[in-house]
Structures are given as C-alpha cells and as structure tokens.
Amino acid sequence: MIPINTKLSEAKNRLRALEKIMQTATQEQFDALEPEFFAYFIRKKGKYMKNIESIQRDIENVSALKLAVFYAGGQSEMARKITALAGSRRITQQGVNYWLATNHVPADRVLQIESVVGGLVTRHQLRPDIYPLEEV
C-alpha cells in the first residue's frame, strides 16, 4: 500500500507539471491544440485537484492515535516502547489494538505515547478533554 503522503505528493507533482505546460504554452500553441486535447488537460487538472482534496480529507480524518501508532512503527512496536517506559506494567499489541478500536487512550498512557513518538503527536491531540490546548 502506498502511504498517503506519497500519494499526495505525487498528485501535487502531476498537477504542477500540468500547470507548467499550460503556463509556458504560447497563444499560438493553444490555438493549434485540438479542442479534445485541451479538454483532456482540463479533465486531468480536475482529476488531480479531486485527488489532492480526497487525500487531504483522508489525512484530516486519521485519528491522532493512528498517527502515533504509525510513527511508533506499528502496534507491536508501540506496545514494546510503552512497556519499556512503563516498567512493571506490560502493554500488549492487543491492548494498543483495543485503544484503536475504541479510539480512546487511557489517561495514564497519554504522556508515554507522546514520549514514544517524540512529540510528533501531542497530548492535546490524543486527549483534548484532559490536556487542553496550551496558549503560546
């Protein structure tokens, strides 16, 4: 499976290339284009724009916990890293999977998860009910 970020960058690159062709063409070149060829460019641009919008929606809909699991290297790896931080209380891959299924992180694990992913996912993103957004 291709990662979402790769899909997004590919769609943006295709759109940029298409726009570059459209911008660099002279009026004479546009006049020489067959109408169906020009329509093809317009359809492609619309398709790429829809792909970019769709991918951005997918990114927005990904939960903070799913991102944290991704950054940690998967459910098992996250469980191992949290267990290493927690000491005596062992966390299993099944426990992480349960958090994902319920989309709920136990309050005592939020800071550990934030630490495991190096702050790429913040405590506020994981549990905004407990950790309100800090004003800068």
Note whether 121 and 68 are same-domain residues: yes
130: helix, strand or coil = coil
Domain that holds residue 26: 4-61
Note whether 68 and 57 are same-domain residues: no
Instruction: Say what the pTM is.
Output: 0.55
* Confidence band, pLDDT 50/70/90 cuts, at residue 47: confident
Note whether 51 and 69 are same-domain residues: no
The per-residue pLDDT for range 82-134, each reduced to its tens digit, is 999 877 688 999 999 999 988 889 999 999 999 999 999 999 889 988 998 87
Residue 131 lies in a domain: no
Which tokens hold the place of 95?
Answer: 């426990």
Residue 60 C-beta-side C-alpha neighbours within 13 Å: 6
Note whether 72 and 112 are same-domain residues: yes
Residue 118 lies in a domain: yes
pLDDT of residue 135: 54
- pLDDT more than 90, % of the chain: 26
Note whether 48 and 71 are same-domain residues: no
**DSSP 8-state code for residue 11:** H
Asked if 11 and 55 touch (Cβ cutoff 8 Å), the reply is yes
Residues present in the chain in total: 136
Asked if 117 and 72 touch (Cβ cutoff 8 Å), the reply is yes
Asked if 59 and 4 touch (Cβ cutoff 8 Å), the reply is yes
Note whether 118 and 98 are same-domain residues: yes
For residue 76, give the CATH number of its domain. Answer: 1.10.260.40
Note whether 56 and 94 are same-domain residues: no
Boundary (domain end) residue, out of 12, 45, 61: 61
Kindly report the backbone phi and psi dihedral angles of residue 111, in degrees, each rounded to the nearest multiple of 5, phi listed first.
-65, -35
Note whether 72 and 54 are same-domain residues: no
Note whether 70 and 121 are same-domain residues: yes
Domain count, the chain: 2
Residue 127 C-beta-side C-alpha neighbours within 13 Å: 15
SS percent in the chain: helix, strand, coil, step 5: 75, 0, 25
CA distances from 51 to 12, 55, 61, 63, 79 (A): 9, 6, 15, 20, 34
pLDDT of residue 113: 94
